[in-house]
């Protein structure tokens, strides 16, 4: 039973993503707000990578975890 449910997880997730995106495909103006879009871009492209790098520099964690945090901060946003 669990194996069958696990096999359905990815197709079901893709179906739910498609249902969510369908609303915005029909009315694309809902995606963009006058203030929301620039603030979201700033947070995703500047604030979060800076927070990851600061945490990687000052957190008392292993060097391997610090490397992972630096890579995570450098990942492109899509």
List alpha helices for the chain, DSSP H: 2-26, 36-42, 48-58, 63-74
Q: Which whole number is the average pLDDT over 8-36?
A: 82
- List, for residues 54-76, the tens digit of each pLDDT value: 999 999 999 999 999 899 888 87
pTM: 0.56
Q: What is the pLDDT of residue 77?
A: 66
- List, for residues 23-53, the tens digit of each pLDDT value: 777 877 777 777 888 888 898 889 999 998 9
Q: Which residues contact 66 (CB under 8 A, 6 or more apart)?
A: 56, 57, 59
């Amino acid at each position: 039973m669990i194996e069958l449910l696990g096999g359905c997880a990815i197709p079901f997730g893709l179906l739910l993503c498609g249902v969510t995106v369908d609303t915005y495909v029909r009315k694309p103006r809902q995606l963009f707000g006058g203030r929301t879009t620039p603030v979201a871009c700033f947070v995703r492209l500047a604030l979060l990578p800076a927070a990851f790098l600061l945490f990687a520099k000052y957190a008392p964690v292993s060097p391997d975890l610090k490397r992972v945090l630096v890579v995570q901060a450098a990942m492109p946003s899509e």
